[in-house]
């Protein structure tokens, strides 16, 4: 029994020794190959893309991630950085299912996949499925090799290297960024932008399947060239997703029905000048996001390009659309035709500093309201006035006489604006605009002056848009925000009440650009907008502001050359009208009325509330918007002495019919208040409102004495009440030579209230081309004295 058991023990011992030798051999082999791998890893390190000189391209995208413009890398390759978190989960599902289901489990090489692929090749004598893992594909991207057995072994070595040095997420990120997708397109983000015009985060099921299979044969499956091939390959991936129950039956059915409609557009060109601006500002940033709305941007670019064709070739245009809620820029058109040499398409007119023309008038009026100088219906003087030597003229060289603030603002009259700025102070206007983000550029050595009201400074379209946003933002101006990360920089420019009053004054029906627009939006609400035209017709402006949006338009020549008839109303308003047609009507509503603004009747000429006036003081009633119940009196014009009131105390005799002058021997018995209009308005007033008819006549006992301190202005050359007729045998009137005696300074001549022109003292004025009917000719000198003569014309053929 004992002898029989000994061989069993010897056999068991032999087996244990054999197993130990095998384990030892395997351990030694593993140690040898590990040591060999370590040595090879040191001798042949991985070359990462950055070390190979592969750089990312740069793409500028809109608020939703849609590409606006792209800039390739130095080799012309379109490659944009992306992380797995920035890619649609549908794409990652399709990629893993189709390329490497065991990606997160194998060490870089999947032996079962290699054996399967080799067996299929032996049986079918052709490649049925690849044995490469995603890691191996990344290895081939980083280190290309020949499609031979040594090449495959080299690829496997590099794959093991990758797994040794990087995490699975890092390896996946390398694939997502550098996989080939046809042409010069690398990476799923670039492929999604190029073929589908969207970021990879927004892929549908069908699009995810298409991009998952495309790197297998990028040239043969390009969807823009071979849509049918691409669809067959895509559908194969979709079927696999259904087989593995990763996508539902409905999802796969809908994906299969979706057509393959792809374009090859690696370099979109929306907002190209904004993209260039941001690219230069952030040269190292691969992905630059903006606040642009691609739909609005596309429509605005198309409108501008179409609209500018009616202008000379050298003309350009610029547009900025700002969301008032956040100051985000939704459309940025810096040029009419990007790349056009004739239109200087490389010049960004959104940033260009140009003369703002009359576009600053709303702010000077608004500041004057805040300062308690005026209300919406204050009486202003539109007449040939001089303010400290500065003599403004209106755009059409005519004058209207008495005008309200609202009327003067809507009609963009120059003289009333300068009158208000003279009372406000140009330094205050300049400082408050600068504080709110619109730093006006002045000529070298110049200080803020009255010319600011008429465009005597420089500003950009972007700055003006930020200022005009204040009208729809309760007085808060700010810097338009180009990117989501831009801080909200806003400053108060006007009070909420003043901003509303100015916006209300500017609300007018837009002048329709053509019949089509007139018919399509006949119900369009009134829009608060202001035009501007710089000296020499160089710049035409139109800016609109509602509660929701601010739209700014510029038209002109980038080189600053004068352009005939290039006015805000003629050139810029029609484009503004078309742009506003792009927007829903609810975005065009005005701001809500503040609680501290109410309407009340006021009276001219004093300008104060009707309830505070008595007797004949209230000569003309207007309904004004008042801020905090304030109804300031009428501003003093240059002809009015400091402290002089429009309400004059008149001394009367016993009858009450005659005026007693200071040196008259006749005794003063009573006194009466007489309210007069500003002296500069005499040529436009009806006869009953003129000073000579408002003031009682001087008592005869006072002789020829007058309380006029500077003499009387007398018109010569035509008799009051006369009738002018042509000479016998003539069809028209002969020229009428007129002269003003006793005038001081320039003589301004008017016919029926319309300014004709001015001459120096002592010079004659010629009346010609008169029509039949009654007429009134007036003259006013620099001291404010006036004379007028009424006459008739008859017999003119």
**Phi, psi values for residue 166, rounded to 5°:** -130, 155
DSSP E strands, 633-767: 647-652, 670-675, 714-716, 723-724, 736-741, 747-751, 754-759, 765-767
Query: Which positions ≥6 away from 641 have C-beta within 8 Å?
Result: none
Q: Are 572 and 531 in contact (CB under 8 A)?
A: yes
Pairing of strands 78-79, 185-186: parallel
Rounded-to-integer distance, Cα 230 and Cα 210, Å = 7
Q: Are 70 and 267 in contact (CB under 8 A)?
A: yes
Per the structure block, which two tokens stand in for 197?
């015009």
Q: Are 635 and 373 in contact (CB under 8 A)?
A: yes
Catalytic (active site) residue 99: yes
Per the structure block, which two tokens stand in for 646?
């429009």
Helix boundaries (H) for 570-665: 573-580
Catalytic (active site) residue 132: no
Q: Show contacts of 257-262: CB within 8 Å, 24+ apart.
A: 258/204, 258/205, 258/206, 258/207, 259/227, 259/231, 260/206, 260/210, 260/223, 260/227, 260/228, 260/230, 260/231, 260/234, 261/227, 262/195, 262/196, 262/210, 262/223, 262/224, 262/227, 262/230
Rounded-to-integer distance, Cα 573 and Cα 529, Å = 9
Query: Which positions ≥6 away from 555 have C-beta within 8 Å?
Result: 308, 311, 315, 316, 317, 539, 540, 566, 571, 572, 575
Per the structure block, which two tokens stand in for 733?
């009137």
Q: Secondary structure of the chain: what % helix, strand, coil (to 5)?
A: 35, 20, 45
**Phi, psi values for residue 748, rounded to 5°:** -105, 125
Rounded-to-integer distance, Cα 751 and Cα 768, Å = 11
Spatial CA neighbour of 634 closest among 458, 381, 352, 388: 381
Q: Mapping DSSP to helix (H, G, I), strand (E, B) and coil, where does residue 229 land? A: helix
- Residue from 99, 163, 463, 682 carrying the catalytic annotation: 99
- Residue from 358, 404, 495, 534 carrying the catalytic annotation: 358
**DSSP code of 365?**
H
| Active site positions, annotated | 99, 358
């Amino acid at each position: 029994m004992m002898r029989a058991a000994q061989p069993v023990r010897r056999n068991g011992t032999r087996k244990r020794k054999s197993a130990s030798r095998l384990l030892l051999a395997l351990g030694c082999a593993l140690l040898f190959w590990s040591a060999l791998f370590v040595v090879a890893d040191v001798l042949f390190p991985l070359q990462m893309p950055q070390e190979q000189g592969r750089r990312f391209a740069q793409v500028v995208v809109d608020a939703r991630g849609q590409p606006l413009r792209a800039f390739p890398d130095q080799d012309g390759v379109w490659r944009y950085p992306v992380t797995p978190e920035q890619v649609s989960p549908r794409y990652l599902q399709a990629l893993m299912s189709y390329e490497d289901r065991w990606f997160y489990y194998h060490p870089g090489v999947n032996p079962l996949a290699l054996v399967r692929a080799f067996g299929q090749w032996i049986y079918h004598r052709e490649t049925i499925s690849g044995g490469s893992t995603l890691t191996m594909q990344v290895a081939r991207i980083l280190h290309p090799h020949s499609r031979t057995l040594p090449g495959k072994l080299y690829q496997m070595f590099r794959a093991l290297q990758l797994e040794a040095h990087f995490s699975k997420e890092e390896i996946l990120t390398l694939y997502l960024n550098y996989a080939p997708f046809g042409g010069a397109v690398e990476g799923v983000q670039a492929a999604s932008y190029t073929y589908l015009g969207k970021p990879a985060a927004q892929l549908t099921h069908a699009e995810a399947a298409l991009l998952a299979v495309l790197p297998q044969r990028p040239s043969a499956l390009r969807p823009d060239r071979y849509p049918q091939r691409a669809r067959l390959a895509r559908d194969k991936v979709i079927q696999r997703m259904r087989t593995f129950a990763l996508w539902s039956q409905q999802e796969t059915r809908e994906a299969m029905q979706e057509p393959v409609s792809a374009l090859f557009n690696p370099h979109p060109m929306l907002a190209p000048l904004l993209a260039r601006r941001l690219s230069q500002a952030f040269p190292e940033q691969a992905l630059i996001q903006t606040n642009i709305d691609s739909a609005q941007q596309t429509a605005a670019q198309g409108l501008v390009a179409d609209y500018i064709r009616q202008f000379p070739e050298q003309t350009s245009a610029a547009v900025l659309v700002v969301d008032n809620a956040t100051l985000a820029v939704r459309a940025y058109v810096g040029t009419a035709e990007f790349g056009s040499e004739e239109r200087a398409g490389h010049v960004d007119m959104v940033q260009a500093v140009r003369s703002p023309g009359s576009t600053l008038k709303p702010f000077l009026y608004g500041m004057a309201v805040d300062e308690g100088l005026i209300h919406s219906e204050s009486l202003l003087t539109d007449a040939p006035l001089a303010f400290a030597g500065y003599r403004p003229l209106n755009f059409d060289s005519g004058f209207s006489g008495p005008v309200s603030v609202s009327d003067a603002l809507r009609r963009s009259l120059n003289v009333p604006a300068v009158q208000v700025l003279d009372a406000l102070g140009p330094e205050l206007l300049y400082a408050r605009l600068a504080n709110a983000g619109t730093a006006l550029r002045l000529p070298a050595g110049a200080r803020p002056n009255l010319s600011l009201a008429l465009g005597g400074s420089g500003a950009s379209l972007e700055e003006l848009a930020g200022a005009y946003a204040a009208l729809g933002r309760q007085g808060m101006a700010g810097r338009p925000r180009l990117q989501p990360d831009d801080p909200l920089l806003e400053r108060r420019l006007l009070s909420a009440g003043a901003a509303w009053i100015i916006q209300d004054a500017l609300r007018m029906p837009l002048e329709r650009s053509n019949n089509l627009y007139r018919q399509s939006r006949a119900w369009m609400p009134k829009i608060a907008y202001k035009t501007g035209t710089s000296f020499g017709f160089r710049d035409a402006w139109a800016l609109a502001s509602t509660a929701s949006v601010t739209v700014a338009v510029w038209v002109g020549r980038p080189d600053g050359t004068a352009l005939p008839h290039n006015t805000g109303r003629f050139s810029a308003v029609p484009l503004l009208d078309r742009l506003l047609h792009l927007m829903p009507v609810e975005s065009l509503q005005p701001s809500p009325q503040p609680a501290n603004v109410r309407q009340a009747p006021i009276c001219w000429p004093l300008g104060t509330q009707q309830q505070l006036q008595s007797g004949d003081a209230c000569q003309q009633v207007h309904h004004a918007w008042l801020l905090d119940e304030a109804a300031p009196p009428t501003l003093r014009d240059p002809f009015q002495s400091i402290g002089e009131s429009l309400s004059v105390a008149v001394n009367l005799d016993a009858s009450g019919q005659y005026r007693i002058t200071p040196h008259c021997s006749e005794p003063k018995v009573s006194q009466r208040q007489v309210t007069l209009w500003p002296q500069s308005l005499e040529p436009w007033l009806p006869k009953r409102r003129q000073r000579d008819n408002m003031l009682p006549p001087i008592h005869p006992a006072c002789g020829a004495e007058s309380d006029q301190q500077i003499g009387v202005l007398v018109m010569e050359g035509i008799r009051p009440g006369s009738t002018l007729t042509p000479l016998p045998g003539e069809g028209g009137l002969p020229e009428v030579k007129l002269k003003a005696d006793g005038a001081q300074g320039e003589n301004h001549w008017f016919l029926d209230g319309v300014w004709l022109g001015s001459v120096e003292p002592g010079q004659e004025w010629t009346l010609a081309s008169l029509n039949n009917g009654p007429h009134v000719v007036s003259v006013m000198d620099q001291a404010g004295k006036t004379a007028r003569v009424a006459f008739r014309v008859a017999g003119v053929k």
